[in-house]
Amino acid sequence: EVQLVESGGALVQPGGSLRLSCAYSGFSFSTYWMSWVRQAPGKGLEWVASISQDGSDKYYVDSVKGRFTISRDNAKNSLYLLMNSLRAEDTAVYYCARGGSAKGQFNCWGQGTLVTVSS
């Protein structure tokens, strides 16, 4: 069974940092694009970042460029999101998602981890 499990969400002060992790099981992790998608409380979905199978290509939504870094460790079957200079508007549930037949499709999702940015 394919499973993605996020961790690392927490309450953090504005300007702080946090690293999210996503552990997978049940599929060949290194053959898929992986992404982070977030959802602010009561709001819609927003794509945050994507990373290629070998980690050489990375894309970000403009609002997080220069602050967030997506990475992966295929040997540890893990995806990461390092978030710096956090703002109140980064408050959201963060989902990791596996790419589908095209890199921008998301055909398997974790349960999400909540990041709250507040003083």
Closer CB to other proteins, residue 66 or residue 119? 66
Give the largest Cα separation in the chain, rounded.
Answer: 41
Q: If DSSP codes are grouped into helix, strand and coil, which group holds residue 75?
A: helix
Report the alpha-carbon distance of residue 113 to residue 119 in Å, rounded: 19
User: Site size for other proteins, by CB under 8 A?
Assistant: 24
Report the alpha-carbon distance of residue 38 to residue 56 in Å, rounded: 23
Stretch that binds other proteins, among 7-15, 18-26, 58-66, 74-82 (CB under 8 A): 58-66
Closer CB to other proteins, residue 13 or residue 63? 63
Binding site residues, other proteins, CB under 8 A: 35, 37, 44-47, 50, 59, 61-62, 95, 100-112
